Structure 1
């Protein structure tokens, strides 16, 4: 039988750790992380590089989806806090060296500057990895950006200002424009993206402190997303203007005040027939009325068809008197029948001159719009039915 001394040696935690350090595999306390490193992480190409073009080493922006990064951090953060920070990271890297790639992405995006420093110090390939600074700026990690700038690990950074502007990180935009000599490069995408996201403070700063400017995309995208203050600022202080896409998309998304401003300031640019058509599709009656009464472009029969199909009775009743093609009413009602829009069907029924479309009825039956079929059966045979399908007495 082993002596007490021998037994204590065999049960020594420190000795067991030393022995297992020379074995392949994962430490017990790192196994919870194993699933996080089994997937493939995507390489997102640099903005402005076509998907068919080759990307030079270091030219891609290595990252993964926001959702994947959040899932990773949900497991990583408590593990990192529990297992002594960098000591745990070093043990993890002894298990699988390829973990460095994922750790690099996560550390830059979530602000683990100590992990960034560890990777820079121990991994020569890290200096060739794409865009530390861009990743950190993209996710608003100012302290990581400051560290990378201070130690000049930003040779591959070309879009840091653009990414920071896109996500509204004004402090990072200001930092990259301030103490850095020379200031970090950016493109017109910075203001375009900031405008798209409604980041008026970033747009204002870039306008006053950068020379790159923007493109018509800035106002187009801001209008599309209903950022009226940004649209007004761009229209007041900049000369790029917009395209017809601005009013078209603002109309589609129901941004009446934006449509009105664009009409007043950029009447010469105007819109296309898509403006009324798409506004009608989404039931924006006030915009349909405004455009009809104030713009010359008009709409197409698609406006009535799409409004009917989507059940926007108010738009249908407004547009119908302006449609002089009886066949257009037939097409609109057919779409309403197929989509199960009974109120629209009831309204258009009295204006229909063509026979009912058997194909439309078949589709309604296939989609189980029984309420529409029953009402149509009653409407075509009112004498033999004393009560309507909705329970009201026959007139």
Structure 2
């Protein structure tokens, strides 16, 4: 009986439980999710690139938060230590989700209980990604990387970029301006240009031109002309139909390649093709006619024939027929009797 009384002692029972298999019923769902998704979060400890801060990671954190929030409201902070000790990855999920969703109280609790703090995770970078300024302030003594300012710039969080620049030493890379330009965060680009020295690369101009961000293109050429100049910018603007950008690039000394006309033809941008062939000397290749025909752009095919742009008419007819654009095939055959004779009525197929 004495031995049984010892085993039932209030101080002994919890210690015995720590050496038993299984888990507490209220934690089953959380543990199952952490086991299933732990790898998604653990990659953060491996010096990931900025691209890892994306929708997939946000979704994984969000799902955990959806399970954890009601659990915490029921059980409170007093049961947190037991939950965190239930799995080697649980502390990371709890702290990362609290940072991502801006739970300042929980982050403060984790900072005070350092035995449960996942120091191998880039917590400053996560706070910057999530635009949680109050949490960033709490993490002042924790290390970060250039990903913090880069990802904040990419996502247009000027307040976060400003705070990081003023209060931390990690800095950023050229990706900060490059990606801010891509997503048209002109205020972020202007701030970085004024307060940082990392600069940018030609990717910034190409991405801005690709998406038709004229004001951004103007800013980049005004402040980084020698760094960002690239023929790919006008090529990309032409391909995606941004005539105002094409005109500005042309007026400010930028060049292009034959890809500009060729891919504008592919996507049916007649106005751009007219501008390029009238104002520039690069011209087009035989792909221009083939692309226009393959895409069914009869107005472009007609214009190219009238301008005597080099063409493989037989290939263009074949492409038009292959994609069901028989009206284009008919026009081409009628405009070139040699092709009509060579391919015969099969070329028309109407």
- How far apart, in 1, do the equivalents of 2:65 and 2:105 lie? 15
Q: CA 1:82 to 1:301, structure 2 compared with 1: closer, same or farther past 3 Å?
A: same
Asked if 1:41 corresponds to 2:40, the answer is: yes
Partner of 2:313: 329
Partner of 1:222: 208
Equivalent residue, structure 2, for 1:383: none
The 3 A distance-change label for structure 1 pair 71 and 241 is closer
TM alignment of 1:109-258, pairs within 5 A: 109-120=100-111, 121-123=113-115, 126-127=118-119, 129-149=120-140, 152-154=141-143, 156-178=144-166, 180=167, 183-239=169-225, 240-258=227-245
How far has the Cα of 1:305 moved from its partner? 0.9
TM-score by length of 2: 0.81
Q: Distance in 2 between matches of 1:344 and 1:105?
A: 58
In the alignment, structure 1 residue 301 sits paired with structure 2 residue 292: no
CA distance in 2, matches of 1:348, 1:79: 66
Unmatched tracts of structure 2, length 5 or more: 1-12
Shift of 1:137: 1.1
Q: Which moved more, 1:102-111 or 1:140-149?
A: 102-111
Change (3 A) 1:69 1:36: farther
Structure 1 unaligned segments of length 5 or more: list them.
1-16, 46-56, 362-372, 379-395
Q: How far does the alpha carbon of each residue in 1:329-380 deviate from its partner, in whole angstroms, 9 at most, with x for none?
A: 110110111112233223223134233399xx7xxxxxxxxxxx9x61x5xx
Question: Aligned in 2, Cα 1:35/1:292: closer, same or farther, shift over 3 Å?
Answer: same
Cα pair 2:294 2:325 within 8 Å, conserved: yes
| C-alpha contact 2:153 2:161 (8 A) present in aligned 1 | yes
Residues 332/136 of structure 1: CA separation in 2 closer, same or farther (3 Å cut): same
Deviations 1:263-309 (A, max 9, x none): 1112xx31111111111111111111111111111111111111111
**Distance in 2 separating the partners of 1:249 and 1:285:** 15
Q: 1:26 to 1:304 in 2, by over 3 A?
A: farther
Change (3 A) 1:303 1:351: same
Q: Distance in 2 between matches of 1:43 and 1:274?
A: 43
Aligned residues of 2:178 and 2:200 also touching (Cα < 8 A): yes
Q: Residue in 2 aligned with 1:365?
A: none
Asked if residue 261 in structure 1 is aligned to residue 248 in structure 2, the reply is: yes
SS of 1:356's partner is helix
Distance in 2 (CA, whole Å) between partners of 1:111 and 1:124 is 18
Supply the distance in 1 between the matched residues of 2:124 and 2:329 (Cα, whole angstroms). Answer: 58
SS of the residue corresponding to residue 343 of structure 2 reads coil
User: How many equivalent residue pairs?
Assistant: 327
- Deviation (angstroms), 1:32: 3.0
Q: Kindly tell me: are residues 162 and 29 of structure 1, through their superposed partners in 2, closer, same or farther at Cα, counting changes over 3 Å?
A: same
**Equivalence map 1:73-92=2 (5 Å):** 73-74=62-63, 76-77=65-66, 79-84=68-73, 86-87=77-78, 89-92=80-83
* Aligned residues: CA RMSD: 3.2
The structure whose RCO (Cα within 8 Å, separation 6+) is larger is 2
- Alpha carbons 1:224, 1:246 under 8 Å: kept: yes
Instruction: State the Cα deviation string for residues 229-285 of structure 1 (Å, max 9, x = none).
Output: 11112222334342111111111111111111111112xx31111111111111111
Residue 55 of structure 2, aligned match among 42, 51, 66: 66
The CA deviation at 1:153 is: 0.6
